[in-house]
Amino acid sequence: MREFIVEADGGSRGNPGPAGYGAVVVDAATGETLAEAAEYIGVATNNVAEYRGLIAGLTAARALDPGAPVHVRMDSKLVVEQMSGRWKIKHPDMKPLAAQAAQILPPSQVTYEWIPRAQNKHADRLANEAMDAGTRGEQWTPSATRADAIHPLAQEAPLQGRGERRDQPSPAATRTTPGGEAAKAVSDVRAARNLAADKPSVGWGAPPDLGPPTTFVLLRHGETPLTPQKRFSGSGGTDPALSETGRDQAERAARSLATHGTVQAIVASPLTRTRQTAAAVAARLGLEVVIDEGLRETDFGAWEGMTFGEVRERYPEDLNAWLASPDAEPTGGGESFTATAHRISATRDKLTAAYAGRTVLLVTHVTPIKTLVRLAIGAPAESLFRMELSAASLSTVAYYADGNASLRVFNDTSHLR
């Protein structure tokens, strides 16, 4: 009975950005390349492109022999685990693609194996060729060197990164002849695949592919008249607007974000200073601003509009209690840092679900940003007093599908200089 190996890959230069996929069908016994498929698919994410590559590979294998067992090898941990049934499919863009892939061949006929990127070079090359063709306004066409090639398991240049153009030798330099070491290598892969499935690679050398993270770009609003005086200015005070300096800071932040071009949505606190800052960015990026009450600043109660020194003079016991415990409330029924953290955690969870896999600009305040940062790195509540966060500064936190978070940038003010 014939048996096929399908290797598939997809990439996105921007994630989302210009994307393409590649897939190859190999005779498992001889190592002969039987079919190649690749296509530029427009703007899409890495994961969408990877699923499209899988669908193309399975479709090509079915066309060759609908009854042949197929062993799929991909360097996308997400796709392999989801198609193997070990991970749930939560993202709405993935569900129809996974369902389409599962219907091409009977599930009992297809097995899946995760492989390192360095072992998926053929499919990766095809995906890059498709993306290159797309940027030229052309359709991908098969390489003239494919017809009698043996699958090149380890012949091409090493990969440098998902969706990037790799330096590769010319097709003529990567051709092999039938039989010999290439066919033996394919047989070795077949013999080892069950062991690989039972003992997946772990550790720093083989990070799981969890798909693109949900990324929050955290922009503190620009200055108000109260900012240089370091007065408490929360959600229970006068709701000041941006000063002239603050408006200039908002414009500078907007120009910087427009240059990077990665923000896909904007969510802002309902207070005037954050709405004005968000509006400056939205005008540059051509995006709408969504208002979320959960991003408002802490309510500082009777301390609103006062300096730290004034609060210490008037309410020394309350201030000492507030500095000593995150459960303490500001004088007059303000909001404790514990209550703020609960609100921010709920807002974070809601927004990461709503904008899964996307980059979102959150225009908010000192306490919400510091809280998101401390929760991301697992820092205690008292760390809020040990962070400096400047007006109109940018910070970035990425949230992954496995529940982990990564602080990537904190208090960047380079755009203001």
Question: What positions carry a catalytic annotation?
Answer: 221, 297
Degrees (nearest 5) of the Cα angle 308, 220, 359? 150
Give 3-state DSSP helix, strand, coil % of the chain, rounded to 5.
40, 20, 40
Could you tell me the two tokens for 86?
Answer: 């070990």
Q: What is the CA radius of gyration of the chain?
A: 27
Tell me whether residue 102 is exposed, middle or buried, using C-beta atoms within 10 angstroms of its C-beta: 0 to 12, 13 to 18, 19 or more. middle
CA-to-CA distance for 355 and 44, rounded, in angstroms?
15
Question: What tokens appear for 361 in the block?
Answer: 């600009």
How far from 259 is each of 255, 284, 414, CA to CA, in Å?
6, 10, 13
CB atoms within 10 A of CB 235: 19
Please check whether residue 247 is in contact with residue 410, taking contact to mean a CB–CB distance below 8 angstroms. no
| Residues paired with 35 in a beta bridge | 25
Edge to edge, the sheet with strand 289-291 lists 289-291, 265-268, 359-364, 214-220, 394-399, 405-412
Write the DSSP string, 136-164: TT------TT-TTPBP-TT-SPPP-STTS
Tokens representing residue 310 in the block: 């004034």
